[in-house]
Structure 1
Amino acid sequence: MLRAIGFALVSLCLLAATPAHAQDDSVERVRIRGSQTLASGLVPAVASSWLRDIGYGDLRVVRKGAALTEIHAVRDDVPLIVEIGASSSAQGFTDLVDGNTQVAMMTRRPSPAELDAGWQLGDLASQDQEFVLALDGVAVVVNQRNPIAGLSLAQLQRIFAGQVRDWREVGGVAGALKLHMAQRPGAAQDLMGERVMRGVRWAPAQKHGDVRGLLAAVGADERAIGFVDLQQVLPAGVRPVALSDGGRAIAPTQVAVMSEDYPLTRRLYLYGSQMMGALARSFALYAMTLPGQHAVERAGYRAVTLRPGRALATQAGPVDYRQLVRDAVRIPLSLRFNFAGNNDSGVAASVYDSRSVRDIERLAALMRQPGLSDRSLIVIGFADVGAGSPAAAMMMSNDRADLVAHELMALGLRVVHARGMGALLPLMRSAGDARYRNERVEIWLR
C-alpha cells in the first residue's frame, strides 16, 4: 500500500513538472543558427518584421543567454518561436548539415569541404537555397589632409602587420604611420582578418573603446589610419581610401559597394536545405522582398535594392567605354555568374549566381516604375584575363553581354547597346576567385 502511494506521489510530481516542458516542446519553432554578425541584430530585425507581416502578434523577444535569442509570437491562438542562435558561419553550416537548424546564417559561401560534407542538402548555390540578405564591409579611413590616393590590399596587410612604418613606403608623404583599432574585435576586424591579414599577425595599435573615439583620433592626426564598418557615418576631417585587389583602386561609394566592385564588401547569407520547412522558407523568401529589405535597412545594413543615382563623369576605362556610358547612370549591381552550384545532373541550376537571378527581377520591377518605363538600358560585359587570350576574353565578354541583353528584352525592357569590353577594367588580379569577380555585366540607365 505504501509502495503504491509512493508511486502515485512520484507520478503526481512528474505530471506537475511536465506541462511547462511539454508545452514548450509542442510549440512550433523556426531555428536559425550561425554567424554572430547576422544574429546580433540583423536577423532578429528581419524575423520580427516577417512575423508581423504574415499576421503574428504579441511579439516578445526573450534573451536565453548571450548566444540565443527567441522571438515568441502568436497567430490565431497558435504560438510560434523563432530561435536565433549565435555561433559562427562554420558552426551554422554544420548545424544545417546535422539537421539542428533550418536556416544557416553565414558571412561567406560554404567552402568546398563544407559543400562535400553537405552534399545531401542540395544545390546550395541556387536561388532556392542561397539567399543574399544584406551587404556589409569595411572602410579604411585616413585624415582628410592625408594625400594618399589609394592602397592595395597587399599594402594594407603590410601596414597593419607593422611592416610599413612611414607613409612614403606606400606612396604617401613622409611621416610616421600610426595605427588605430577598436578595443573590441567586431565584424570589421573579422572581415579585415579574412580578406587582408589572412593569418598574418596584427601589429600593436592605439586601441579605442568605441568607433567614435577611433574616428576622432584619425580626424585629429594626418598620419593616422584605421578601419570601420561601411555603415559608419564619417565625421568631417575623415575620409575613406580607395582600395585595389590587383585591379583598379575603387572608393567605397554607394554604387561600388552595392555592385560589390569595392574589394572590402561582403555578402551576408542565409542558407537552407532543399527540404527546409514551409515557415523557414517563408522567412528566407520574405527577406528577399522589398519589405524584408526595408527591415535590413532599419537594422543598419546595406539592403540589396536598386536605386539609380545620378550621372557622373566616368574617368576609368578605355575611350569606347567612357563614350558608351557618357550621360548614363549606373544601376548599382554587377551581374555575376554561377561557377559553384550544381544539381544532381551536374548542371548549374542557373547561369547566374543567386543574387543576380533576383537582381534581374528587381531591375525589371524598377524599370516599370513611373518615369523609368520609357528609359533604355546599356549592357556592358567584362571577362577575366584567364580566358586565354585578349580575343577569347573579348568573345566571352560579348557573349555575356548578349545573354543578359536578350534576357532583359524578353522581360520587356529596352536595351540600346550590348557590348563586351574583354578583360579591361579588372577588379582583381587573375588568381583565386578572380574569374568570379572579373567576369561580370554592368547595367547602365540612359
Structure 2
Amino acid sequence: MSRVVGFILSFGLLLACTQAKAQVDAERVRIHGSQTMAARLVPAVAESWLKDIGYEGIRRVQAGPSTTEIHASRDGQPLIVEIVGNSSAQGFQDLVDGNAHIAMMTRRPDAAELDAGWQLGDLASHDQEFVLALDGVAVVVNRENPLARMDLRQLRRVLSGQVRDWREVGGRGAVHLHAVAGPNSARDMIDERVMQGTPHAIAQMHPDGTSLVRAIANDPGGIGFVTLRQPWGANVRPLALADGGRAVAPTRLAVQSEDYPLARRFTMYGSQMMGALSRSFALYAMGQRGQDAVTQAGHAAVTLRPGYAPSSVLGPREYRELVANASRLPLSLRFNFNSNNDSGVASSVYDSRAVRDLDRLEAFMRLPVNRGRRLLVVGFADVAAGSSVAATMMSNDRADLVAHELMARGLPVMHARGMGSQVPLAPTGAAGARYRNERVEIWML
C-alpha cells in the first residue's frame, strides 16, 4: 500500500514539475497597464484571438490579485498571454523597461513618459498606437429634472457642492449628489476632466452603478455619474455636456465620433520592435473579429456597421443645409500634431485611429447595402488658426485632403466643404483644443 501511495505522490510531483516547466518554457505575450482594460476587455479579445489563430485548450488562470493569464497551445507549443492590471502609468513604464510587450492605457502618454520612452519609436504612429475601444462617463439625472444640458464648469460647481439648488443652473429643487463608493474608473475620469483638483462634496454613496442609477430614478433632485457601460433605465437620463463648445449628449454616434466631451480611448501601445505574436494580437484587435470581441465585452467598438439613419443636426444654417437628409457616420478624422497631438504642425497627417478609420470607411462603402451611396466631407478648424478667414481656409484644406484620399480609393465624394471654426467642441487655448476642434466629419447620402 505504501508503495502505491509513494508512486501516486511521485507521479503527482512529476506532473506538477512538468506543468511548471511547461509554464516556464511557454512563450509569453505580456500586456500590462490599465485595470479597467485588464478586467474584461483585453482578456476577451485575447481569447478570441487565440481561438481564431488555431490555439486550443484556452483557459484563464488567476495568477495573482492583478494578473490574469490565458493559457493555450498550438501544435504542442504552449503560449501564455499575461495580462497585468496595475495602471496606465505603470503599464507604460513596464513597456519602457522591457517588462511588457504592450501597454494598456486609458490616456495618451504624457510629455515626461514620451521623453522616458524615446527609444520605443513613434508612439503616435498607427504601427505602434492601437485604439482598441471607446469608453466614457455619463452624468445622469432624474427624468423629471427639466435641465437638459450643462457645461463642465457648472458640473464642477455642482459636484463640489457650490451649487445646492438646481435653479442656479436651470433646473428646480434641491441638488442631491450620488456617487459610487471607492475608487472607480468613472470617478477617475471625472476627477481628471471635470474636477481638476477641486474636492467633491459629500454625496450619498452606493456600492455600484446599478444602485446609483436606481436611487436617482427615485430622486427628482438626484445627480450622479456612471460609466457609459452602465444602463440607466427608463426614469433616468443623461445630460448633454459642453466643454466650451456645443453641448453633446452621450449617444452612440457622439461617443464613437469622440464629439462627447467625457469620451475617451482605450489604447494599446507597443514598441517599434514588437514581436510577431504581440503585433499579431494588436492588429487582430483592430479588425472586425477583434472589435466583435470588444462589443461582447460591453465596450464601444470603433467599427462601422450598416443602417445609419439621418441625424438630428444643430449648428449654423449653412451646416444644416449642407448635411440635410444625410447620415453622419460615427467617426471624426483627426490629425497628428507634434507635442503629443496637442499643438504644432502636422507630422504624419492623420492620427492612428484616422488611418484605420479610412480603411474601415473604404470597406464599409464597398458593402452591397451601400452601393450607390455618396459621401459628404465636412471639415472644421480651431480659432487658433489666426482669424475666421484663416480657419475657413484651413477647414477647407482639411476637407479637400480627406476628399482626395477617399476619391483615390475609388469612393464617390459628392461634396467637400469647410465650416471654419463655427462648431467648436472645446474652448480655444485649452489643452487639446486644437486636436478636438480640427476634425473632418463624414456624412453619407
TM-score computed with the length of structure 2 as normaliser: 0.93
Q: Match for residue 85 of structure 1?
A: 84
Displacement of 1:145 in angstroms is 0.9
Q: Which runs of 5+ in 1 are unaligned?
A: 1-14
Q: Measure the CA separation in 1 of the matches of 2:197 and 2:363.
A: 43
Aligned residue number for residue 160 of structure 1: 159
Which residue does 1:429 correspond to in 2? Answer: 427
Q: What is the 5 A alignment of 1:217-256?
A: 217-256=215-254
Deviation at 1:347, TM superposition (A): 9.2
Q: How far apart, in 2, do the equivalents of 1:159 and 1:444 lie?
A: 36
Q: Secondary structure, in 3 states, of the residue corresponding to 1:417?
A: strand
The secondary structure found in structure 1 opposite 2:349 is coil
Match of 2:326 among 325, 328, 339: 328
Q: Which runs of 5+ in 2 are unaligned?
A: 1-13
Moved over 2 A (4+): 15-25, 346-350
Q: Identify if the C-alpha distance between structure 1 residues 165 and 347 changes in structure 2 by more than 3 Å, giving closer, same or farther.
A: closer
Q: Which residue of 2 aligns with 1:439?
A: 438
| Aligned equivalents of 2:308, 2:232: Cα separation in 1 | 20
1:325-383 C-alpha deviation (Å, 9 max, x unpaired): 000000000100001479xxx99663100000000100000000012121100000000
- The match for 2:368 among 351, 367, 370 is 370
The 3 A distance-change label for structure 1 pair 126 and 349 is: farther
Which amino acid counterpart does residue 41 of structure 2 have in structure 1?
L
SS at match of 1:435: helix
The residue aligned with 1:11 is none
Partners of 2:192 and 2:339 in 1: CA distance: 23
Give the structure 2 partner of residue 414 of structure 1. Answer: 412
Could you tell me how far apart the structure 2 residues matched to 1:116 and 1:46 are? 30
Cα offset, 1:23, TM superposition: 3.8
- Deviation per residue, 1:225-275 (Å, 9 max, x gap): 011111222211100100000001111111111100000000000000000
Deviates more, 1:301-310 or 1:252-261: 301-310
1:184 deviates by 3.1
- Give the aligned partner of residue 65 of structure 1: 64
- Secondary structure of the corresponding residue to residue 58 of structure 1: strand
Identity of aligned residues (%): 64
Deviation at 1:208, TM superposition (A): 1.0
Match of 2:288 in 1: 290
Partner of 1:136: 135
Aligned to 1:145: 144
- CA apart distance, 1:22: 4.5
**Inter-partner Cα distance in structure 1 for 2:208 and 2:107:** 26
Q: By how many angstroms is 1:18 displaced?
A: 7.5
Kindly indicate whether residue 50 of structure 2 is the aligned counterpart of residue 56 of structure 1.
Answer: no
In the alignment, is the contact (CA less than 8 A) between 2:48 and 2:293 conserved in 1? yes
Residues 92 and 105 in structure 1, CA contact (< 8 A), matched pair in contact too: yes
C-alpha separation in 2, matches of 1:142 and 1:20: 53
* Shift in Å, 1:26: 1.6
Identify if the C-alpha distance between structure 1 residues 347 and 426 changes in structure 2 by more than 3 Å, giving closer, same or farther.
closer
Q: How much does 1:17 deviate?
A: 10
Structure 1 counterpart of 2:381, which letter? A
Counterpart residue identity of residue 135, structure 1: L
Q: Conserved in 2, the CA contact under 8 Å of 1:383 and 1:394?
A: yes
TM-score where L is the length of structure 1: 0.93
Mapped contact 1:123–1:341 kept (Cα < 8 A): no
Question: Match of 2:146, as an amino acid?
Answer: P
The AA in structure 2 aligned to 1:92 is G
- Equivalents in 2 of 1:227, 1:286: separation in Å? 33
1:416-445 Cα distance to aligned partner (Å, 9 max, x none): 110000000100001211000000000000
Q: Is the 8 A contact 1:126 1:341 kept in 2?
A: no
Please tell me whether residue 176 in structure 1 is matched to residue 174 in structure 2: yes
Letter in 2 for 1:326: A
Letter in 2 for 1:394: T
Alignment correspondent of 1:74: 73
2:43 & 2:19 partners in 1: Cα distance?
A: 25
Cα displacement (A) at 1:217: 1.2
After superposition, the C-alpha distances for 1:280-323 in whole angstroms (9 at most, x for unaligned) are 00000000000000000000000011135211342x21111111
